[in-house]
Structure 1
Amino acid sequence: MSLSRRMVLGAAVSGAALSRPALAQRPWPNRPIRLVLGFAPGGVGDLTARMIAPRISEGLGQPIIIDNRPGAAGIVAAEPVARSVPDGYTMLLLTTTNSTADAMYRSLPYDTNRDFAPVARVATFDHVLLTAANSPYRTLRDVIEAARAKPGSINLGSIAVGNAQHLGAELLRSMAGVDMTIVPYRSTPDLINATTTGDVHLASEILAPVLAQVQAGRLRALAMASAERYPLLADVPTANERDLPGYMVGSWNGVAGPAAMPRAIVERMNTEIGRALALPDIREKLLELGVTPAFSSPEEFGAFIRSEGERWSRIVESSNIPKQ
C-alpha cells in the first residue's frame, strides 16, 4: 500500500473515531422523554403529570410521553426505570406509594434511596376525613366518641391496602386508641359510593378526587389530615388543630431518573419543572384539583424521600401492620 493511500485511510479511521463521541455528546434532549407513572390514567397523579408535561416540553423542545404502568404498589413502574439507561430519556413519577411500599414490603427489586436520582418534587396532596352528607357526625370528635362508646361499630373506609390512604386510616385508629373496622375498597369511586350511602361511617381519602363531591354537598368533610386548612375548604378544620392533635397524613409526587443520570440533565429538568409550576394558570388549575404545587431542588427532594420512607416505616410499625 502506498504511503499516500495509508495516510488517507488513517485519516478516515481517525475521523470516524472522533465522530462517535461527538454524536454521543449531542445536547440533551434530542428525542422524546418517557415519564413512567405507576397508576392508570385519570387519577390525580396522572392528571397532574399530563397538565405540566406540555409546559415542561415547551422549555425542553421535546415531547414528554406519559407511560402508565399501574399495579403492585408502584413496583411495576419503578423497577424498569431503576434499571434503565441513565441517559435522561426515561424518568419516573415517584410518589408516596413508593415510600409506603418501602415500609410495607420485606424486599423490593430496587432501593428507592439508592437507585434513583431525585430531580424535583412536583406537588403535595392533602388527605381528608369524610362522612355522608346526612351523617349524624358533625366533627371527627363525634366519630371517635361513637367508636369509644361502642367498639367495632364504626367502619373506617380506605382504598388499596398499603397505600397512604389505608395507612392513614390505620394511623388514625392507632392514635385515637379506638376499635374501628377498617374496610378497604378497590377504588375511590367505590369508596365514595359506600360513604355517600352510609355503609362507611368515616372515609380516609386524598382530597383531590373527592373535592367536587364535598363542594357539591354530597359528602361532608370532617377534618383535613394536613398541617394547614385547604384554601378552597377554609371552614374545614385540620384534625391536628382540634380533634386529634398530631394526626397529619399527606401524599406527594415528584420526578426522578435512574441513579447515574448526569447532573446536567437533573439540573435542566429541575429548572423546567420549576418554570412550569410557577405559571399562574398551572398553579390555579392544580389548586382547583385539590393539588398544591411543591417544587423543590434535587437535594431537598432526596432528603424528603428519605424522611418519608422513615416516617411510613414508623407508622407501619406503630400500627402493627404486618409486612408483605
Structure 2
Amino acid sequence: MMNKTVNRRLLLAATLLAGLPGALQAQTTFPNRAITLIVPFAPGGIADVMARAVAEAMAKSLGQAVVVDNRPSAGSIVATQAVVSARPDGHTLLLMSNSNAVSVGLFKKLPYDTVKDLVPVSTLGFFDLALFAPANTRFGTVQQALQFAKANPGQLKMGTISVGTTQHLAAKLFETVSGADLLTIPYKGSPAVLMALRSGEIDLALEIVGPMLPQLSAGAVKALAVTTNQRNPALPEVQTLQQAGVAGYNVSSWNAIAVPAATPPAVVERLNRAIREAIASAPVIAKLEKLGMRLQAGTPEQAQALLSSDIKRWGEVISAAKIEAE
C-alpha cells in the first residue's frame, strides 16, 4: 500500500512538472534553440542592416543563432502579429520601431494591442532625419526657407515618402511647430523623393540621414538641419532645427526589440543584457555609426515609455493633419 501511495505521488509530481508552461521552463534553459528576429521591413534597408548587425552580436552573447526573418507590410502589422501570436519564451523577437506607434493612430483596428500584447526589451538606436535641399538651392538656411514659406503660403514644396510614414508626419509637425504653410508632396519611396529634389521639382525634403549620406558626399544635395535635439555624429557640422530657430522640434525614427507580453521577466532581462552587449560591441559601432545611426540601449521601462509617448504624439499629429485612419 505504501509503495502504491509513493508511486502515485511520484507520478503526480512528474505530471505537474511536465505540464509547466514552456515560458516558465525557459527561465532556466533560455535560450535552448535558435532565436528568430522578425523584421517588418524588406532586406537591405537601414532597419534591416541594423537588425542583422545586432542579431549577429547577440548570437555571440547568447550562444545561439539569431536568425533574421523579413516580413514587410504596411504599418509593420504582419511581423507584429507573428510575434504577438508566438510562444512567449523569448525565442521569437520583433524589431519594433516608431512605425508600431504610428500604426495605432493610422489604422482603425489592429489585430493586437500594441501596448498590452508586447513587451519592449530595449531600444537599439535612433535614426535622425534631416531637412535636405538641392545642391543649387535658393535657400542657404532654414530661416530663409521659412521666411519664403510664410511670405508665400502653400508655395514651398516639401517632399516626403508615403502618407503616414515618419517622414510625412515629421513634415506635418514641422508645419505646425514652425508656423509655415507648406505644400507637402508624398512620393512612393525615397528614390522618387531624391529624384524630385535633385530635379528641382520640390524645394526641400525630409528624409532619414543614413541613406542620404552618399548623396551628400557626392554634392548632389545639401543638409540644412537635422531634426533631433542633438547633432548627428555623421554630420557634426549640420545644426539642429532647434538651433536653426524652430523651437521645440525634435523628431527621430527608432528601432527596439520586443517580445510577447507573457515572456518571463528573467528572459526579458537576459535579452536586455545581450542587447546592451551587442550595442556596445566594436563591430556593431563600427558598422552602424557611419550610417548615421545613434546607438542607444536602455531598460524595458524606458523603451515602453518611448513607445507610449510616441503613440500619443503621432496620434495627435495624425489627427491635426486630418489623415483618415485606414
Q: TM-score, normalised by structure 1?
A: 0.91
**1:209-220 pair list within 5 angstroms:** 209-220=211-222
How far 1:219 sits from its partner (Å)? 1.0
Aligned to 1:67: 69
Higher mean C-alpha displacement, 73-82 vs 264-273: 73-82
SS in 2 for 1:94: strand
Aligned to 2:136: 134
Aligned equivalent of 2:98, options 96, 99, 102: 96
Preserved contact between residue 72 and residue 79 of structure 2 (Cα < 8 Å): yes
Alpha-carbon distance between aligned partners in 1 of 2:42 and 2:99, rounded to the nearest angstrom: 14
**Displaced runs of 4 or more, over 4 A:** 9-16, 21-24
Aligned to 1:158: 160
Q: Is 1:116 the counterpart of 2:118 in the alignment?
A: yes
Aligned to 2:241: 239
Higher mean C-alpha displacement, 121-130 vs 71-80: 71-80
Q: Is 1:148 the counterpart of 2:150 in the alignment?
A: yes
The AA in structure 2 aligned to 1:195 is L
Which residues of structure 2 form unaligned runs of 5+?
none
Aligned to 2:184: 182
Aligned to 2:301: 299
Distance 1:107 1:19, change over 3 A: closer
Higher mean C-alpha displacement, 13-22 vs 34-43: 13-22
Aligned to 1:20: 18
Aligned to 2:201: 199
Calculate the aligned-residue CA RMSD, in Å.
Answer: 2.4
How far 1:33 sits from its partner (Å)? 0.9
Alpha-carbon distance between aligned partners in 2 of 1:248 and 1:318, rounded to the nearest angstrom: 18
Preserved contact between residue 57 and residue 281 of structure 2 (Cα < 8 Å): no
Aligned to 2:227: 225
Alpha-carbon distance between aligned partners in 1 of 2:17 and 2:110, rounded to the nearest angstrom: 41
Alpha-carbon distance between aligned partners in 1 of 2:55 and 2:177, rounded to the nearest angstrom: 39
Alpha-carbon distance between aligned partners in 1 of 2:61 and 2:231, rounded to the nearest angstrom: 34
The AA in structure 2 aligned to 1:212 is P
Alpha-carbon distance between aligned partners in 2 of 1:15 and 1:112, rounded to the nearest angstrom: 38
Preserved contact between residue 174 and residue 319 of structure 1 (Cα < 8 Å): no
Alpha-carbon distance between aligned partners in 2 of 1:276 and 1:231, rounded to the nearest angstrom: 19
Alpha-carbon distance between aligned partners in 2 of 1:232 and 1:39, rounded to the nearest angstrom: 24
Which residues of structure 1 form unaligned runs of 5+?
none
Aligned equivalent of 1:322, options 304, 310, 324: 324
SS in 1 for 2:234: helix
Identity of aligned residues (%): 37
Aligned to 2:278: 276
The AA in structure 1 aligned to 2:91 is Y
Aligned to 2:312: 310
Distance 1:15 1:309, change over 3 A: closer
How far 1:173 sits from its partner (Å)? 1.9
How far 1:263 sits from its partner (Å)? 0.7
How far 1:212 sits from its partner (Å)? 2.2
How far 1:12 sits from its partner (Å)? 9.5
Aligned to 1:53: 55
Count of residues paired in the alignment: 322
Preserved contact between residue 130 and residue 209 of structure 2 (Cα < 8 Å): yes
Aligned to 1:38: 40
How far 1:10 sits from its partner (Å)? 6.9
Higher mean C-alpha displacement, 263-272 vs 103-112: 103-112
